[in-house]
């Protein structure tokens, strides 16, 4: 298995399952709209394929930020205010 696949195995599996789900939903919607199985399958393949690739990189970008991101801290002023 290539190093890239080993390193990103979990995200690749998650992306693949999302891809299958997305194509299934797109095909069902396409069929409901067109009434044609072949048209629905054709329409359902392009967008989810591009979306799956975009999703993979979106996940990698977010996972890169997650470990280093710290909650925003609001400074608390404990000095008594006049009034």
pLDDT in tens, the chain (83 residues): 788 888 889 989 998 898 899 889 999 999 999 999 999 998 898 877 788 789 889 988 988 887 655 555 556 566 666 76
DSSP helix/strand/coil, 9: helix
Say which residue the tokens 């997305």 belong to. 22
Domain ranges of the chain: 3-65
Cα separation, 59 vs 26, in Å, equals 21
Please state the pTM of the whole predicted model: 0.54
């Amino acid at each position: 298995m290539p190093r890239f696949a080993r390193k990103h195995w979990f995200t690749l599996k998650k992306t693949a399952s999302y891809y299958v789900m997305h194509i299934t939903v797109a095909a069902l919607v396409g069929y409901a709209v067109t009434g044609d199985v072949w048209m629905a399958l054709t329409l359902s393949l392009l967008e989810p394929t591009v979306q799956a690739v975009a999703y993979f990189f979106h996940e990698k970008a977010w996972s890169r930020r997650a470990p280093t991101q710290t909650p925003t801290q609001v400074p608390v002023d404990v000095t008594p205010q006049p009034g």
